[in-house]
Amino acid sequence: MTASVSGSPKDRVLIFDTTLRDGEQCPGATMTLEEKLEVAELLDTMGVDIIEAGFPIASNGDFEAVSLIAKQVKRATVAGLARAISADIARAGDAVRHAARPRIHTFVSTSPIHLAHQMRKSEEEVLEIITNTVTQARNLIEDIEWSAMDATRTPIDYLCRCVEAAIKAGATTINLPDTVGYATPDEYRAMFRAVRERVPNADKAIFSAHCHNDLGLAVANSLAALEGGARQIECTLNGIGERAGNAALEEIVMAIKTRGDVLPYETGIEATMLTRASKLASAATSFPVQYNKAIVGRNAFAHESGIHQDGMLKNAQTYEIMTPESVGVSKTSLVMGKHSGRAAFRNKLEELGYSLSDNQFQDAFERFKELADRKKHVYDEDIEALVDQNIAMAHDRIKLVSLHIVAGTRGPQRATMRLQVDDRIVVEEQEGNGPVDATFNAIKALVPHEAVLELYQVHAVTEGTDAQAEVSVRLSADDRSVTSRAADPDTLVASAQAYLGALNKLMSRGARLHAQHAAE
């Protein structure tokens, strides 16, 4: 792809999604292979230009995920990340080689603080590394992205030398990231302008922005980079990522779409899929979206103030700068019940953006019928929670069979639990300081482990006393942290399923958890 992406009244901005790489580096946000494939498929369908599928050298699991995504994705470029190390680049090239549009994304530190304390290399040594590694990558794949890690804290003269070396060696995209979320919009805009003006052959590469949100400026900085000449923005669904996260894809897309008067750009993203993508990412990572999150939060189109409600009734534009439908939020959600049949349920799933296999559909329909028998009204949010949980649990080794609780003011509270562990059914009864504690004690007795409970959080999926409870659980073990969510009208059942979901993730990542019945 050439650097010139203009030619129309609005310049085309490439959307580079790194949910599967940088997003997954968010503590506790690890996804299974199946979840990564599902997220990648949706990103491709919604029009993301480049999908950064992972860090192939990190593990065999990461390599396999990147390879499978490269084979699966039909339209988008698939990128694999690599440090400026020969083995990394070879591994990344091998992982993405089956893609219709493969890319190697390699990076090296350039700031004085990184060179002195992390790289322990001189400026000249790093320039040589850039030339050698970008050349190696270009000999494997035509599409090469090079990143100057900690670009915003790199002296501009040296940054220009590094960029010049990368372009000369064959880099087709130059990424100048705000790695530590340090820059302000004016600084970031000026950096792009200076580099593009000063570096020979800068017009032969597309410049890219990658911003972290440590000061809450990731989206603002990304948009400022466009004014400085960048035409690729790297972002993640829901803004997930290391530390305070990355620029949020949905915010970037809708800012460009809504404020075309001051942002004369366009993306290829189908905006009506943003809400569905947000919910899928949230379900896959088990990271809930904050209620007041821009664009995709539950309250993004909610109005409680009397003044606001009055204005909305008279003209929606008084307090809404975009419509709920424009980002895929349906105004009508109460449509399903216990008398709804398969055809209606399948149609509802299609409306919500789900495409399930026959087996997945059958499992989801059976769970829907069970839920409809227990709950008076079934909302879209109930169905989404049900299907997302079904997908997440499909490959779990440990599954809840039944749970019986004895609770009340006169303790102790007791939990009797039946689990399926691989092909065995195991049963245990435990007491605890409350029904949740008893439930978790039963799990520990059935599946002995050393994981520490870091988070236990409950909220309702919808309104009403019969609403599904959505429970989030975060477990840590061996310096690894995973999060899982589950929903059920019974809070204790949801609690058990969320805990087991997190435990399954720890086990699938190779943590030292020994699934065995205490009686054995």
Judgement on whether residues 367 and 410 belong to the same structural domain of the protein: no
Q: Which residue has better confidence, 490 or 352?
A: 490
Judgement on whether residues 479 and 373 belong to the same structural domain of the protein: no
Judgement on whether residues 23 and 130 belong to the same structural domain of the protein: yes
Residue 27 falls inside a structural domain: yes
Judgement on whether residues 92 and 232 belong to the same structural domain of the protein: yes
The binding site for Mn(2+) comprises: 22, 210, 212, 246
Query: What is the strand order of the sheet 413-421 is part of?
Result: 398-406, 413-421, 424-432
Tell me the residue type at 249: L
Residue 426 is given by DSSP the state: E
Judgement on whether residues 335 and 436 belong to the same structural domain of the protein: no
pLDDT category of residue 116 using cuts at 50, 70 and 90: confident
Tell me the residue type at 70: A
Containing structural domain, residue 148: 14-285
Q: H or E segment at 54?
A: strand 50-54
Percentage of the chain surpassing pLDDT 70? Answer: 90
Euclidean distance between the first and the last CA atom of the chain, given in angstroms as a whole number: 61
pLDDT at 309 over 60: no
Instruction: Quote the pLDDT of residue 465.
Output: 74
pLDDT category of residue 320 using cuts at 50, 70 and 90: low
Q: What angle separates helix 274-285 from helix 33-46, to the nearest 10 degrees?
A: 170
Q: Which residues contact 314 (CB under 8 A, 6 or more apart)?
A: none
Judgement on whether residues 347 and 476 belong to the same structural domain of the protein: no
Judgement on whether residues 217 and 313 belong to the same structural domain of the protein: no
Q: Say if CB 103 and CB 93 are below 8 A apart.
A: no
pLDDT at 305 over 60: no
Judgement on whether residues 267 and 130 belong to the same structural domain of the protein: yes
Q: Which residues contact 277 (CB under 8 A, 6 or more apart)?
A: 42, 43, 46, 237, 249, 250
Instruction: Quote the pLDDT of residue 518.
Output: 29
CA proximity to 127, closest of 174, 154, 161: 161
Last residue of a domain, one of 389, 424, 458: 389
Instruction: Quote the pLDDT of residue 118.
Output: 79
Residue 6 falls inside a structural domain: no
CATH code, 51:
3.20.20.70
Residue 403 exposed, middle or buried by CB count within 10 Å (0-12, 13-18, 19+):
buried
Judgement on whether residues 332 and 202 belong to the same structural domain of the protein: no
Residue 360 falls inside a structural domain: yes
pLDDT at 371 over 70: yes
Judgement on whether residues 173 and 242 belong to the same structural domain of the protein: yes
Measured between alpha carbons, how far is 139 from 170 in angstroms, rounded to an integer? 9
Measured between alpha carbons, how far is 198 from 109 in angstroms, rounded to an integer? 20
Tell me the residue type at 7: G
Q: Where are the beta strands (DSSP E) in 362-411?
A: 398-406
Measured between alpha carbons, how far is 458 from 471 in angstroms, rounded to an integer? 5
pLDDT category of residue 3 using cuts at 50, 70 and 90: very low
Looking at mean pLDDT, say which of 138-142, 309-313, 368-372 comes out highest. Answer: 138-142
Residue 458 falls inside a structural domain: yes
Q: Where are the beta strands (DSSP E) in 190-326?
A: 206-210, 232-235, 265-266
Judgement on whether residues 100 and 192 belong to the same structural domain of the protein: yes
Residue 319 falls inside a structural domain: yes
Q: H or E segment at 485?
A: strand 480-488
Instruction: Quote the pLDDT of residue 72.
Output: 96
Least confident of 14-23, 222-231, 468-477: 468-477
Measured between alpha carbons, how far is 224 from 133 in angstroms, rounded to an integer? 30
What is the number of structural domains in the chain?
Answer: 3
Last residue of a domain, one of 372, 389, 406: 389
The binding site comprises: 22, 210, 212, 246
CATH code, 420:
3.30.160.270
Instruction: Quote the pLDDT of residue 127.
Output: 96
Residue 292 falls inside a structural domain: no
Judgement on whether residues 37 and 184 belong to the same structural domain of the protein: yes
The tens digit of pLDDT for each residue in 37-84 reads 999 999 999 999 999 999 999 989 899 999 999 999 999 999 999 999
Last residue of a domain, one of 240, 257, 285: 285
Measured between alpha carbons, how far is 208 from 173 in angstroms, rounded to an integer? 7
Measured between alpha carbons, how far is 353 from 349 in angstroms, rounded to an integer? 6
Q: What count of Cα atoms within 13 Å lies in the side-chain half-sphere of residue 326? A: 14
Q: Record the pTM.
A: 0.78
pLDDT at 4 over 50: no
The tens digit of pLDDT for each residue in 385-426 reads 778 777 666 668 898 999 999 998 887 899 999 999 988 999
